[in-house]
Amino acid sequence: MMQGRPSPEDTPQPVLPVIRVAPLGEIKIYQILEGELDRLANGPPESIYLNFALTLLPISFTLLITLLTTTIRSSRLYQGFVLVAAVTLIIGVILLVLWGRNRSSTRRLVEDIRNRMPPPPSIQDKPGTPAR
């Protein structure tokens, strides 16, 4: 026997965990194209509209509140506030409408993928068994 090296029988074996598997009734596997996977991974393209709308609308409301609650003596500064408030409000509303009209593109893509699944096969009675 060689000294310094334990034999394989002497080394403790790791205890494996107990694995329990609950059976599933049915597993559906959907095949998707690479372009569809890229669209799902990138997220909905119209979310950028919502991001910009949620940035511009508070800026517009802040400027409008500033215009209503303070006195601005310089007509040029006042016109600048009005112009920026109006432009940010208009662009923010347009982007919010665009987001609202196009927000379901990802949902439609997932529905298209799910609709590819053929219907389940019908269950037929075995010959000789009475119908219920």
Domain boundaries, the chain: 38-115
pLDDT above 60: residue 2: no
For CA atoms 35, 40, 42, 45, the dihedral sign is positive
Q: Which is higher by pLDDT, 79 or 130?
A: 79
The two three-digit tokens of residue 77, written as one number: 């500064």
pLDDT digits (tens, 9 = 90+) for 18-47: 888 877 777 888 888 898 888 888 878 788
The two three-digit tokens of residue 23, written as one number: 């059976």
pLDDT above 80: residue 114: yes
| pLDDT at site 127 | 62
pLDDT digits (tens, 9 = 90+) for 55-91: 999 999 999 999 999 998 999 999 999 999 999 999 9
Evaluate whether 43 touches 103 at the Cβ level (below 8 Å).
Answer: no
- Provide, for the chain, the percentages of residues in helix, strand and coil under a 3-state DSSP scheme, each rounded to the nearest 5: 55, 0, 45
Minimum mean pLDDT range among 32-36, 99-103, 126-130: 126-130
pLDDT above 80: residue 15: yes
| pLDDT at site 132 | 53
User: How does 45-79 read in b/e, with b if 16+ C-beta sit within 10 Å?
Assistant: ebeebbebbeebbeebeebbeeeeeeeeeeeeeee
| pLDDT grade for 120, boundaries at 50, 70 and 90 | confident
DSSP letters spanning 7-47:
-TTTSPPPPPPP---PPPS--------HHHHHHHHH--TTH
